[in-house]
């Protein structure tokens, strides 16, 4: 049996995703600046309150997968994908199962109770990033890799590659290319898997206390189109 398996997510994965994802992004110096005076442990606790609702948000378009240690059952990686409108009936295995009305209310209450207020004014650094992303996504149809995170304790074990390859296989089946807004830490994985750089934007984050380099990299993967019944 392989050491890691990839499966779809359920709302009950929320706490495990919070631990995995916040820990992964806490290695990014610019991300840490966003949560001024807040600890990693505190942000994991807050993210745990949000994830069940996040997993159930926009179920038509969003697909979620986790990589799990096959021996321990522990979540070691996560990916989120966004499908184009015409393909929202596809990839049901990665669509979070619907919750009951009562569960939805509980998840919403938990989500709204979370402290998710970042450093005031720092969101301005993402304004030009968002503008470039919007422009590029208007040029052609893509499936978007919206989020990829591997816990730092499990780096270098091929987990990120496994998650991205799972999405590539679906994209090939559906006949749609992939877009990702990447940061420096993930570039090696994407380039090894054949993603090509469309544009990049390097900004100075020193005024927020950063190291002076905040890089955003816009990539695409042109997939080999397979046979598909998708319209």
Per residue in 164-175, pLDDT (tens digit) is 999 999 999 999
Token pair, residue 114, equals 């979370």
Q: Which residue, among 137, 101, 117, 119, has the nearest Cα to 210 in the 3D structure? A: 119
Average pLDDT over every residue of 9-32: 95
Strand runs (DSSP E) across 37-156, as ranges?
A: 62-69, 75-82, 142-150
Rounded CA gap, 172 and 91, in Å?
12
Q: Indicate the pTM of the whole model.
A: 0.92
pLDDT digits (tens, 9 = 90+) for 93-128: 999 999 999 999 999 999 999 999 998 889 899 999
pLDDT at 6 exceeding the cut of 70: yes
Question: What pLDDT does 207 receive?
Answer: 87
Helical (H) or strand (E) element with 107: helix 101-113
The residue ranges of every structural domain in the chain are 4-221
**Superfamily, domain 4-221:** Gcn5-related N-acetyltransferase (GNAT) (3.40.630.30)
Q: What are phi and psi of 179, to 5 degrees?
A: -120, 140
Task: Yes or no: say if 179 and 220 are a contact pair by the CB < 8 Å rule.
Answer: yes
pLDDT at 188 exceeding the cut of 80: yes
């Amino acid at each position: 049996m392989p050491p890691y398996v990839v499966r779809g997510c359920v709302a009950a994965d929320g706490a495990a995703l919070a631990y995995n994802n916040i820990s992964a992004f806490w290695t990014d110096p610019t991300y840490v600046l966003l949560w001024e005076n807040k600890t990693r442990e505190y942000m994991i606790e807050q993210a745990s309150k949000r994830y069940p609702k996040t997993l159930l948000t926009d179920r038509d378009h969003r697909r979620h997968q986790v990589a799990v240690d096959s021996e321990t059952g522990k979540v070691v990686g996560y990916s989120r994908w966004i499908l184009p409108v015409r393909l929202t009936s596809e990839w049901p295995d990665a669509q979070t199962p619907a919750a009951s009305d009562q569960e939805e209310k509980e998840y919403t209450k938990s989500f709204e109770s979370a402290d998710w207020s970042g450093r005031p004014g720092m969101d301005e650094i993402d304004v030009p990033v968002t503008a470039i992303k919007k422009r590029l996504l208007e040029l052609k149809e893509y499936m978007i890799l919206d989020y990829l995170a591997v816990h730092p304790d499990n780096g270098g074990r091929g987990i990120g590659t496994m998650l991205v390859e799972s999405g590539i296989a679906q994209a090939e089946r559906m006949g749609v290319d992939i877009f990702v807004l990447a940061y420096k830490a993930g570039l090696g994985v994407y380039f090894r898997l054949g993603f090509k750089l469309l544009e990049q934007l390097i900004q100075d984050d020193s005024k927020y206390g950063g190291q002076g380099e905040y890089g955003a990299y816009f990539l695409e993967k042109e997939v080999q189109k397979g046979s598909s019944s998708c319209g």
